[in-house]
Amino acid sequence: MKIVRTREMEWQNGWDVISMMPDNYKENLGPAEKLEEAYSKYLQKNLSIDLESTFRGDLIDLQPGFADLTDAYHDSVEECFFIAGDCTLSGEQTFYGYHYFWRPPGFIHAATSVTGFKALLFLHGEDPSEGSGRASRVIRPTELAGTNALTADAAAALGPRGWVKIDTETLPWLSEEQFKGMYPELNAFGLNGIEIKILSINPETLAMSALIKIPENFQIQEDFWVRGFRAFVLEGSLKISEQDLDAESWFETSSGEEHQGLSSKTGSLIFAKISAKN
């Protein structure tokens, strides 16, 4: 199990990070002379990166007044869970804390924020099952915001999960029984009294992003992970295989990996990316 305890990490400044970005990304951020002003307002802690697929996940903290310099699209799916603050995407809407989007490739957008915002941000990277290409950033004119640069076929543009934009607080929790009934092979968590909100799901592979609410005094014995989990502890804390995971910790497990028990005294809320069925 990989663990990233973000509270023990320093924030990276976006201006420093630009030098590490793929060339096709950094050359497409906007006018070179304005990059420092804009991206010094972009703070991040990296959760996960896969150079092969170009998947990456970051905890980001954008400062008040942040604004992308240009509109752009990605060849990759982009996914975001907002923790707090405000973020307005051109051609879309304003997102606040506990809002979520899964955006298929090609849709043109730019982000601005008045008060700043904190979020989990993912570029999904190359994954044919999700219709997702490599991480990239391609500048397009602002007046095309909200349209798709890659296809004129509106249905095809949506990909398998659709373009999902939701206030997760307006979704009902699924009980353990409801969830087991719908996705019996996903009993990877012991599920003793947990509740779940499915934020986006691939109907072919059942890969999904979800909020999982773990009750107080939760405990399951040693077992193995039926599916891979990549997850962020939003609230409370939990213990997996004797490792304490406080709020703002990230962990990754793979399908078939064993664990030595999972427990939570306080209860916990986690954002989880659950892998496809094998």
The contact set with Fe ion (CB under 5 A) reads: 78
Tell the smallest beta-carbon distance from residue 44 to Fe ion (Å).
14
Q: Among residues 58 and 78, whose Cβ is nearest to Fe ion? A: 78
Q: Which of 171, 189, 110 is nearest to 146 (CA)?
A: 110
Exposed (0-12), middle (13-18) or buried (19+): which is 108, by Cβ within 10 Å?
Answer: buried
Q: Among residues 78 and 130, whose Cβ is nearest to Fe ion? A: 78
Tell the smallest beta-carbon distance from residue 6 to Fe ion (Å).
21
How far apart, in whole angstroms, are the C-alpha atoms of residue 158 and residue 155?
Answer: 6
Q: Among residues 106 and 228, whose Cβ is nearest to Fe ion? A: 106
Q: Among residues 105 and 190, whose Cβ is nearest to Fe ion? A: 105
How far apart, in whole angstroms, are the C-alpha atoms of residue 163 and residue 100?
Answer: 11
Question: Tokens in use for 241?
Answer: 């295989």
Residue 156 carries which DSSP code? H
Tell the smallest beta-carbon distance from residue 88 to Fe ion (Å).
13
Tell the smallest beta-carbon distance from residue 195 to Fe ion (Å).
30
Sign, CA dihedral 14-1-186-50, equals positive
Tell the smallest beta-carbon distance from residue 35 to Fe ion (Å).
16
Residue with the shortest CB distance to Fe ion = 78
Tell the smallest beta-carbon distance from residue 257 to Fe ion (Å).
31
- Strand 258-259 relative to strand 218-220, pairing: unpaired
Task: Give the H or E element holding residue 174.
Answer: none
Tell the smallest beta-carbon distance from residue 199 to Fe ion (Å).
18
Distance between alpha carbon 4 and the CA centroid of its chain, in Å? 15
AA letter at 209: S
Q: Among residues 85 and 190, whose Cβ is nearest to Fe ion? A: 85
Q: Among residues 89 and 238, whose Cβ is nearest to Fe ion? A: 89
> How many CB atoms within 10 Å of residue 238?
23
Contact assessment for residue 211 and residue 196, using Cβ atoms and an 8 Å cutoff? yes
The terminus-to-terminus CA distance of the chain in angstroms comes to 19
Q: Among residues 109 and 197, whose Cβ is nearest to Fe ion? A: 109
